[in-house]
């Protein structure tokens, strides 16, 4: 079990593929293939939400999955994450140096900074509560939570896969 957990966390920086991106997309807002009257299969890179971080100038689409392909198109939603605003841990990863590198300056986020998630016509505002550096084996960062939380992650330091930078945020009331 520990080996599997280690592999999953390493995938945060796209060293391994943890899931096909289409598996998660079919269960997200507006992407239910089974209810598609026209028989058109949505893109496996369908946007399920939009992540906006005003202090960093970030406005990125959130795409289900944690593969290099996903990270090169936006930011990736962890496979077991709930929808934004729901009880649980809404976990999103992104690149710092390759692709569109939306999380390049994630280390500049400070406690209290807002992070906004637009999803299905709703807006959820989270506030940064903590930032930390962890080892690639610290898989607890993606575990479910009892309250609506947001976790951002990326490799650290910039240009390395040695560690992970984690930003925790809680849903504002």
Residue 39 in any domain: the answer is no
Q: Give the DSSP H or E segment for 58.
A: strand 58-64
Q: Per-residue pLDDT for the chain (173 aa), expressed as one digit of tens each?
A: 444 443 443 343 333 223 333 233 323 333 332 333 444 445 678 899 999 999 999 999 999 998 888 988 889 999 999 999 999 999 999 999 887 899 999 999 999 999 999 999 999 999 999 999 999 899 899 999 999 999 999 999 998 999 999 999 999 96
Asked, for residue 76, whether it belongs to a domain, the answer is: yes
- Could you confirm whether 155 is annotated as catalytic? yes
- Report if residue 38 sits inside a domain: no
State pTM to two decimals: 0.76
Annotation says 95 is catalytic: yes
The CATH number covering residue 52 comes to 2.40.260.10
Q: How many domains are there within the chain?
A: 1
Is residue 164 part of the annotated active site? The answer reads: yes
Q: Is residue 101 part of a domain?
A: yes
- pLDDT (tens digit, 9 = 90+) per residue, 5-31? 434 433 433 332 233 332 333 233 333
One of 28, 73, 164, 168 is an active-site residue; which one?
164
Query: Is-cis flag, bond preceding 157, omega within 30?
Result: yes
- Domain limits for position 68: 2-33+44-171
Tell me how far apart the alpha carbons of residues 80 and 6 are, in angstroms, rounded to a whole number.
16
């Amino acid at each position: 079990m520990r080996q599997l957990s280690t592999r999953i966390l390493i995938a945060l920086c796209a060293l391994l593929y943890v899931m096909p991106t289409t598996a998660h997309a079919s269960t997200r807002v507006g992407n239910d293939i089974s209810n598609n009257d026209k028989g058109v299969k949505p893109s496996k890179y369908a946007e399920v939400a939009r992540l906006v971080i005003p202090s960093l100038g970030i406005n990125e689409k959130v795409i289900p999955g944690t593969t290099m392909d996903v990270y090169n198109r936006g930011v990736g939603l962890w496979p077991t994450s709930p929808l934004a605003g729901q009880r649980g841990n809404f976990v999103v990863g992104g690149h710092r140096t390759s692709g569109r590198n939306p999380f390049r300056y994630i280390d500049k986020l400070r406690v209290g900074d807002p992070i906004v998630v637009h999803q299905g016509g709703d807006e959820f505002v989270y506030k940064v509560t903590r930032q930390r550096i962890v080892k690639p084996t610290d898989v607890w960062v993606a575990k479910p939570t009892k309250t609506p939380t947001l976790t951002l992650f990326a490799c650290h330091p910039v240009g390395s896969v040695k560690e992970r930078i984690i930003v925790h945020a809680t849903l504002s009331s």
